[in-house]
Amino acid sequence: MYKSQDIIKKDNEFILGTYAPFEVVFDRGEGSKLYDIEGKEYVDFLAGIAVCSLGHNHKKLTKAIKQQSQKLMIASNYYYTEPRGQLAEKLIKNTHFSKGFFTNSGAESNEAALKVAKKFFNSQNKGRYKIVTCLNSFHGRTIATVTATGQEKFYKPFSPMPDWFVYVPFNDTKALKNALSDPEVGAFMVECVQGEGGVNPATKEYMTQARKLTKQNGQLLIIDEVQTGIMRTGKMYGYEHYRIQPDIITLAKGLGGGFPIGACLITEELANVIEVGDHGTTYGSNPLACKAALAVVTELQKPRYKKHILEVSDYLMHKLKNLELSDFVKEIRGLGLMVGIEFEEKISAKAVLKELLNKGVVTSTAGKNTLRLLPPLIIQKEEIDFMYDKLTQILKEYKNA
């Protein structure tokens, strides 16, 4: 059996250094727990960055993957397979959407959304080619989606970039109204909660006005639900909190519960302008991925999950609110099981992350100085208590230092 340092050495030798991994080698998972190769147990408050919605090694998900892998993994989109239509129906039924396109990732889902929007603009012949996005947003790593991302650090190294994105401050209705008044703007793309930007929830007024303004101007509203979709916020889709109906939403992360799959859902009006050959994918909507996602969605649509998510998310926020009395915590914010703890400048979120990891809690950081909590949707109160106890221990150590 390999030791941690042997695995880390091999990885560093052959893997392109686009990440700076912490020196922990995870070997297996069970529920909301992870175990490193030495057998140490960790409580998972990252879930593969909001991916493992049902936790690790969920019986129904692994069973679905096993059965489908023994039957058919891929046949190409030139032919029909049963899981694709079943999954599309699950995602679209009881919504205002009409059609779906399956991808392999969130960035690809957003690329599909941008292409649908572009085709729709072109079909109108009105010269609407610009898309408005928000500062501190995150929409992916491809050339188009990294440009859509309103954070210069992500796209500046790859300049020059496409010039048809316009950035506005998040939750600033006046700035949005001004940007959307440009006759060359065709769409507004926004997250319900900015994940990578620091776990910043959109206000109800902002989202309501975004829908109102785009409707008035004949523009499209695209909501990036890559992180907020599939019950992460306590509802199937994050936009449901705002009682609006976007033209396009994009999904990924929690959709496959750990298996790579994304989706782009669109209305009938937009579907009518898409023709054969307008878009495509080799691996997207393969039956193995669709079967995995079908198992996840079927499970999460059971009423008990919604009840559980609302209960534990309220419990988590109630516990964390106690930290706002700390000298080190600036703000606690989030929606559902997507929570951010922003620290004052005198303490580093990344340093807290490292301390938590040492104490058996897996988290991540986001934005300027925010600890991000994205546990599996099956997280239990006692696991929240464990994380909270370790976090308060760390803050006490800083206070006494």
What CATH number did the domain enclosing 384 receive?
Answer: 3.90.1150.10
Lowest pLDDT segment from 156-160, 267-271, 291-295: 156-160
CATH number of the domain at 147, please.
3.40.640.10
Query: Do 199 and 250 belong together in one domain?
Result: yes
| C-alpha to C-alpha distance for 58 and 174, rounded to whole angstroms | 46
Residues 356 and 212 in one domain: no
Instruction: Note whether 186 and 168 are same-domain residues.
Output: yes
32, pLDDT greater than 90: yes
Report yes or no on 102 lying in a domain: yes
Same domain, 265 and 183: yes
pLDDT per position as a tens digit, 185-242: 999 999 999 999 999 999 999 999 999 999 999 999 999 999 999 999 999 999 999 9
**Single-letter amino acid, residue 21:** P
Regarding whether 230 and 317 lie in a shared domain, the answer is: no
Higher pLDDT, 160 or 125: 160
Cα atoms in the Cβ-side hemisphere of radius 13 Å centred on 36: 19
Name beta bridge partners: 33.
30, 43
Residue-level pLDDT at 383: 98
pTM of the model: 0.96
What pLDDT digit, counting tens, does each position of 360-372 carry? 999 999 999 999 9
- Residue 30 is part of which domain span? 4-58+303-400
Q: Is residue 389 part of a domain?
A: yes
Q: Tell me the C-alpha distance between 6 and 231, whole Å.
A: 39
- Per-residue CA distances from 317 to 257, 265, 340 (Å): 24, 31, 10
Domains held by the chain: number: 2
Does residue 295 share a domain with residue 313? no
What is the rounded CA–CA span in Å between residue 279 and residue 327? 52
**Is 66 inside any structural domain?**
no
